Chains A and B, each alone.
Chain A
Amino acid sequence: MDLLPSDDQTQIVDTIKSFLAGEAPVDRLREHGAIGNPDAALWPKLGELGFLGLGLAEELGGIGLSASEEMLVFREFGYHLVSIGIFGIVLGARVAAVAGDDALRDELLTGARRVGIANPRGAAAGPGPDAQDYHLFEAADASLVLLVDEQGAGLLAREDFVDIESVHSTDSVLTLERARLAADKPRLWVARSADNIHSRALMLLGAYAVGLGEGARDMAVDYAKIREQFGKPIGAFQAIKHICADMAMRSEAALCQASFASLVMADGLPDTDFHAVASKIVATEVAMKNAAANIQVHGAFGFTSEANAHHYLKRAHVADLLWGSLREQRERILTFPTPA
């Protein structure tokens, strides 16, 4: 038993870290402007480095690593506020691979195609894809749209949606549209029994939220070390120090649970669903709390769009509402049997 990354895993983490530090510094969101983000340019590069098919079995055209490596990489995606379109591509490629569309799979793994994400707008999503109201994330320039629910995961064409209407996104660097699903069924569909993509999505979203919380934590801590008031760095005051300590404690809890959840999934253990949901609950809560605390530590500056603090908060809310909010996940976690 060892929850720490192995040497090989650390190497993977170092690779993606240095890639994102160079190609996707968080400041890109401020420089790019209010709407949309430049992250689609990252997909082909990530494809070339093998990060899009990292957790996909070799016989399915992937790199053949486990859920744990995927978890570690999605944590870094969250840390750098990479567009949630990354979920569309990575999980979309998995749908294509398991459904047997090898051509599409290979195309997606190169990062040449964008895949948006459909998320039900209703409070309670019905079972399976249905003609109802959805939000489409990062789908404006995407020909494909990923849909994930408790029954399975599927890929739809953008044309499968009607009444598409662009709306202002709360997280303004993500494109957001309203749409109604018109297709009877997705172009490709993978039932839960064939591959539990739903739990993988929740687990990876938990990992992404871990990264969001850590990004906010580090931003707050860095600022607390340099911002001076009353003649010393504000981080010397316990009022600020303890806020930062709380952020670190919460991040540790979320990281440990994300690691554990990924291992349970990698081993195919019966508590896979439980731990994926637990990870999403813990990590999205942490992401939202740390984002709020980061704004507070930055004072008035944190309230402006000149600071990056607001991006963590808004993305944390996206992570919470994607594939079932905290409220829905809490209802769900009580339905599982006692975990081992």
Chain B
Amino acid sequence: MNLDFTAEDKIFREEARDWLQANVFKERRPHGGEAMRAYDLAWQKCQYDAGWAGVSWPKEYGGMGLDLTRQLIWYEEYARAHAPDNHLCFVGLNHGGPTLIARGDEAQKRTHLRPILAGEKIWCQGFSEPNAGSDLGALRTRAVIDGDELVITGSKIWTSHGHLSDMQELLVRTDPDAPKHKGISWVIFDMKTPGLELRPIEIMTAPNHTHFVQCFYDEARVPLANVVGGLNNGWSVAMSTLGFERGTAQIKDQIRYAFLVEQMIERARARYGSEYITHDELGSRLAQLRADMAAARAMTYMVVSRAQHDIGGSLASLMRAMVGDVQQRVRRLAFDIIGADALENPEDDDWVYFYLRSYAQTIAAGTSQIQRNIIGERVLGLPR
């Protein structure tokens, strides 16, 4: 048990800090549309051009080839520098890319990894369906083999930024006769494929705010070579992807939220007075969150520690579920600190927007309830 970083780690941290300080985009990130896409790609390209993209990705595919500790350091400095969260790149950087690294063949890696890092391609997720949400294994979108192609028909939903994406990690049913988790394949899908139609879905943050799309596939044709990890192995490939989402991808957020709580303390002091908040209900909640954020960060360190020892797996659900709740409480308190003005939803203040966004925290990437099932069954060994 130690908090030690090597001399090389420290040099890496200083270099990362210096570069971020000089290069972080200062302009506010647009909340939607092509402007947001352009912003996120430009920021990703900026990191790539300077050699800072893909800290733990293999060198041969454009990454830095470093270990998880460096990844942790990078994310810490990234959050400290208030670098923008280029969320459109999230699926590529944290799901699609890592899955290809773990399970893709050489051609798939060569074709797809570098454009993710270089800020050229946006990836989205095609997992959930109208009738397969928490029960993802019940998905029904069909893919029929025709020569060297798959012919896909069906529908996916809750695809974040699907209308702004180039590529999709898509789960399809390739063997309808196999048991439900056995007949699924994980496919690289080009969003320009004929036969794909999108229906935008507004979310609750503000009017006209498209975040999701529903995807309709009508005999859309994909090369068989785009199947990752082998035909009908899609469930295990997808589980490795979700593992990434519940694990290391959270590091940056913990630190960002810890900063936010500090900002909230300052804002509450400015608005209500230092003496007052210490004794107020607001102060009590701020204090509890200050402690909880410290614990959340320690949990992230634990996830990285376990990954270094190659243990963890479902244990990462503990962090994911805990932190989702804590982040929601942070956003709610930020909303409360604003007072009556929280009923205004101005463009230049993110606190109301992100409060409304926080309702996704306990739904996305597996609802809190599904996380608790996983914890109950796989961590605690309770019966199904």
- Residues of A whose CB lies within 8 Å of any CB of B are 1-6, 9, 68, 221, 224-225, 232-233, 235-236, 238, 240-242, 244-246, 248-250, 252-257, 259-260, 262-264, 267, 269, 274-275, 277-279, 281-282, 285, 327, 329-331, 333-335, 338-339
Closest A residue by C-beta to B308: A2
CB neighbours of A241 from chain B (8 A)? 372-373, 376-377, 382
Asked whether B283 lies within 8 Å of A331 as measured between CB atoms, the reply is yes
B382 touches which one: A224, A256, A278, A282 (CB < 8 A)?
A224
A338 to B72, CA, bound (A): 20
A225 to B380, CA, bound (A): 10
Interface string of B309-339 (1 = CB under 8 A from A): 1000001001101100000000000000000
Knowing A249-B375, A331-B287, A338-B262, say if A3 contacts B298 (CB, 8 Å).
yes
Asked whether A252 lies within 8 Å of B319 as measured between CB atoms, the reply is yes
A274 to B290, CA, bound (A): 10
Q: Which of B1-9, B138-146, B174-182, B200-208 contacts A (4 or more CB under 8 A)?
A: B1-9
A278 touches which one: B4, B69, B295, B322 (CB < 8 A)?
B295
CB neighbours of A329 from chain B (8 A)? 287
| CB of B297, distance to nearest CB on chain A (Å) | 8
| CB of B220, distance to nearest CB on chain A (Å) | 37
Asked whether A3 lies within 8 Å of B302 as measured between CB atoms, the reply is yes
| CB of A238, distance to nearest CB on chain B (Å) | 7
A334 touches which one: B277, B292, B299, B380 (CB < 8 A)?
B277
Closest A residue by C-beta to B262: A338
B380 touches which one: A248, A263, A269, A278 (CB < 8 A)?
A248
CB neighbours of B69 from chain A (8 A)? 1
Report whether over half of chain A's contact residues are helix, strand or loop; otherwise say mixed.
Answer: helix
Asked whether A68 lies within 8 Å of B1 as measured between CB atoms, the reply is yes
Knowing A6-B1, A221-B380, A238-B369, say if A260 contacts B291 (CB, 8 Å).
no
Asked whether A246 lies within 8 Å of B372 as measured between CB atoms, the reply is yes
| CB of A6, distance to nearest CB on chain B (Å) | 6
CB neighbours of B379 from chain A (8 A)? 245, 248
Q: Does B191 contact A (CB under 8 A)?
A: no
| CB of B134, distance to nearest CB on chain A (Å) | 12
| CB of A196, distance to nearest CB on chain B (Å) | 18
A141 to B232, CA, bound (A): 70
> What 6 pairs between A and B have smallest CB-CB spacing?
A330-B287, A241-B376, A256-B298, A245-B372, A235-B382, A260-B298
Q: Does B91 contact A (CB under 8 A)?
A: no
| CB of B292, distance to nearest CB on chain A (Å) | 6
A9 to B305, CA, bound (A): 15
CB neighbours of A282 from chain B (8 A)? 291-292, 294-295
CB neighbours of B381 from chain A (8 A)? 221, 225
Knowing A2-B1, A241-B382, A333-B290, say if A252 contacts B376 (CB, 8 Å).
no
A257 to B308, CA, bound (A): 19
CB neighbours of A242 from chain B (8 A)? 369, 372-373, 376
| CB of A209, distance to nearest CB on chain B (Å) | 13
A282 to B290, CA, bound (A): 10
A136 to B315, CA, bound (A): 41
Knowing A225-B383, A244-B380, A245-B372, say if A278 contacts B1 (CB, 8 Å).
no
Asked whether A275 lies within 8 Å of B294 as measured between CB atoms, the reply is yes
A277 to B291, CA, bound (A): 8
A334 to B262, CA, bound (A): 10
CB neighbours of B304 from chain A (8 A)? 1
Closest A residue by C-beta to B261: A338
B2 touches which one: A2, A245, A278 (CB < 8 A)?
A2
A135 to B375, CA, bound (A): 41
CB neighbours of A6 from chain B (8 A)? 1-2
Q: Does B28 contact A (CB under 8 A)?
A: no
CB neighbours of B81 from chain A (8 A)? none
Closest B residue by C-beta to A242: B372
| CB of B98, distance to nearest CB on chain A (Å) | 21
B322 touches which one: A4, A68, A249, A267 (CB < 8 A)?
A249
A259 touches which one: B1, B286, B306, B308 (CB < 8 A)?
B1
A334 to B297, CA, bound (A): 18
Q: Does B53 contact A (CB under 8 A)?
A: no
CB neighbours of A5 from chain B (8 A)? 1
Asked whether B372 lies within 8 Å of A235 as measured between CB atoms, the reply is no
A224 to B301, CA, bound (A): 31
Interface centre among A244, A249, A259 (most CB of B within 10 A): A249
CB neighbours of B372 from chain A (8 A)? 238, 241-242, 245-246
Closest B residue by C-beta to A221: B380
Q: Does B288 contact A (CB under 8 A)?
A: yes
A262 to B3, CA, bound (A): 10
CB neighbours of B188 from chain A (8 A)? none
Q: Does B296 contact A (CB under 8 A)?
A: yes
Asked whether A1 lies within 8 Å of B72 as measured between CB atoms, the reply is yes
Asked whether A4 lies within 8 Å of B377 as measured between CB atoms, the reply is no
Q: Does B23 contact A (CB under 8 A)?
A: no
CB neighbours of A330 from chain B (8 A)? 283-284, 287-288, 291
Which residues of B1-55 have CB atoms within 8 Å of chain A's CB atoms? 1-5
Asked whether B286 lies within 8 Å of A334 as measured between CB atoms, the reply is yes
CB neighbours of B278 from chain A (8 A)? 331, 334-335
Q: Does B279 contact A (CB under 8 A)?
A: yes
Asked whether A333 lies within 8 Å of B376 as measured between CB atoms, the reply is no
CB neighbours of B192 from chain A (8 A)? none
CB neighbours of A256 from chain B (8 A)? 295, 298-299, 301-302
CB neighbours of B380 from chain A (8 A)? 221, 235, 244-245, 248
Asked whether A236 lies within 8 Å of B1 as measured between CB atoms, the reply is no
Asked whether B295 lies within 8 Å of A3 as measured between CB atoms, the reply is no
Asked whether B5 lies within 8 Å of A1 as measured between CB atoms, the reply is yes
Knowing A2-B305, A256-B298, say if A331 contacts B279 (CB, 8 Å).
yes
| CB of A38, distance to nearest CB on chain B (Å) | 31
Interface centre among B277, B286, B383 (most CB of A within 10 A): B383
A259 to B302, CA, bound (A): 9
Extra pairs beyond A241-B377, A245-B372 (13, CB < 8 Å): A2-B1, A225-B383, A236-B382, A245-B321, A252-B318, A259-B1, A259-B298, A259-B302, A275-B294, A278-B290, A278-B295, A333-B291, A339-B294
Interface centre among B262, B278, B309, B318 (most CB of A within 10 A): B318
| CB of B100, distance to nearest CB on chain A (Å) | 28
A252 to B371, CA, bound (A): 14
